[in-house]
Amino acid sequence: MGTDFRILIDHDCEENSSIVANAAFEEAKRLNRIFSDYDAGSEVSRLSNSSYNSEKVEVSKELFEVLAFSKLLASETGGAFDPTLGRLSRLWRISRFRKSLPTANSIEKAMNQVGREYLKLNPIEKNVTLLKPGILLDLGGIAKGYTADQMMLLLKKRGFDRCLIDAGGDLTLGKRPRKRPGWNIQVGGEKHPDLPLLTLENCSVATSGDYSQFVEINGRKYSHIVDPLTGYGLENFSQVTVIASNGMTADSLATAFSVLGPEKSKNLGLQKKYQNIRAFFVTQKEDIQRLELLR
């Protein structure tokens, strides 16, 4: 999934902690073989290849669950989050590496192969059909959050509930450490003086934005996050941190909110559906930073 996972466990026995941590890392490796589009042999890559004959493909329960949530969120966000933008994301990966802007023609061609309507899910038979030849799935905005959730579930089932999983900077938190009120989490790192230090447990925290991950081309900065609605990397130089009940929700909403910005995100009303979510937005315009809170 293009990131590192780390586990912090509060427990008396180092040996048992090591054993259960290794089991959680094995679970991450198993899920990586399902979700990673960096791996040509992964389940999602094989599913993308099936688009050329539009066949029904029976998929694992994990992949179906993530695709179903992704398609629902794509609908709820008007396409700001879209699991079918693989052609665009690969195009921009190459551009960031070469530090050259994709051509308008290449972006138009990639945009023609993006759309949740091309992703057909059969919830009864748990199969998937891709209705557009050449469409590529990209679960980069959701898979690591889901993986952290499954790792946490494994740890808790084995009696290790005082733990923290760091998935490339996105955190999934278990029960608070002993003799502490919770895990101390600096929202968004230290990018803004007004971002709070929170004490949390049994939730997830995901941060998305282009403060640090961007490429500068011809004097303009383009984010690693691609807007499915325009085909271009974001240029708003912003950051959003989402706190939610689980990693899959926090990870995917952070991506969607980055694309939409604070006002459009608030107008979606998703805070009513996804209970207890909070989002901290930092936006910058003309060297002036502004902090906004959605809850």
Q: Convert 267-291 to b/e letters by CB count within 10 Å (16 or more is b).
A: ebebbeebeebbbbbbbeeeeeeeb
Range of lowest pLDDT (11-20, 83-92, 131-140, 276-285): 276-285
**Average pLDDT of span 210-225:** 71
Q: Kindly report the average pLDDT of the chain as a whole number.
A: 90
Q: Is 58 left (phi over 0), alpha (psi -120 to 50) or beta?
A: beta
Range of lowest pLDDT (5-9, 31-35, 260-264): 260-264
User: Residue 237: its pLDDT value, please?
Assistant: 65
Percent of the chain with pLDDT over 90: 70
Q: What is the DSSP letter of 102?
A: P
pLDDT at residue 178 is higher than 70: yes
**Average pLDDT of span 46-73:** 96
Output the CA angle 253-154-138, nearest 5 degrees: 35
- Cα–Cα distance between 178 and 171 in angstroms, integer? 19
Map out the domains of the chain as residue ranges.
Answer: 162-294
Q: Could you tell me which of 67, 84, 96 has the C-alpha nearest to residue 210?
A: 96
Categorize the per-residue pLDDT at 71 as very low, low, confident or very high, splitting at 50, 70 and 90. Answer: very high
User: Residue 189: its pLDDT value, please?
Assistant: 62
**Average pLDDT of span 137-157:** 97
- Cα–Cα distance between 232 and 228 in angstroms, integer? 8
What are 183's strand-pairing partners? 200
User: Residue 219: its pLDDT value, please?
Assistant: 75
Q: Are 4 and 38 within 8 A, CB to CB? A: no
106: Cβ contacts below 8 Å, ≥ 6 apart:
91
Look at the pTM and tell me if it is higher than 0.75.
yes
Categorize the per-residue pLDDT at 287 as very low, low, confident or very high, splitting at 50, 70 and 90. Answer: low
pLDDT at residue 262 is higher than 70: yes
Q: pLDDT: is 41 or 284 the higher one?
A: 41
Q: Are 70 and 139 within 8 A, CB to CB? A: yes
User: What are the start-end ranges of the H helices in the chain?
Assistant: 14-35, 43-49, 61-76, 86-98, 104-111, 143-157, 247-268, 270-273
User: Residue 224: its pLDDT value, please?
Assistant: 77
User: Residue 143: its pLDDT value, please?
Assistant: 97
pLDDT at residue 66 is higher than 60: yes
Q: Are 71 and 121 within 8 A, CB to CB? A: yes
Categorize the per-residue pLDDT at 136 as very low, low, confident or very high, splitting at 50, 70 and 90. Answer: very high
Range of lowest pLDDT (69-78, 201-210, 217-226, 246-255): 217-226
Pairing of strands 214-217, 203-209: unpaired
**Average pLDDT of span 253-273:** 89
Q: pLDDT: is 167 or 95 the higher one?
A: 167
Percent of the chain with pLDDT over 70: 93
pLDDT digits (tens, 9 = 90+) for 13-56: 999 999 999 999 999 999 999 999 889 999 999 999 999 998 99
Q: Could you tell me which of 138, 123, 110 has the C-alpha nearest to residue 47?
A: 138
CATH for 162-294, options being 3.20.20.60, 3.10.520.10, 1.25.60.10, 3.20.20.70: 3.10.520.10
pLDDT at residue 176 is higher than 90: yes
User: Residue 192: its pLDDT value, please?
Assistant: 64
User: Residue 42: its pLDDT value, please?
Assistant: 96
Q: What are phi and psi of 163, to 5 degrees?
A: -150, 165
- Cα–Cα distance between 210 and 231 in angstroms, integer? 16
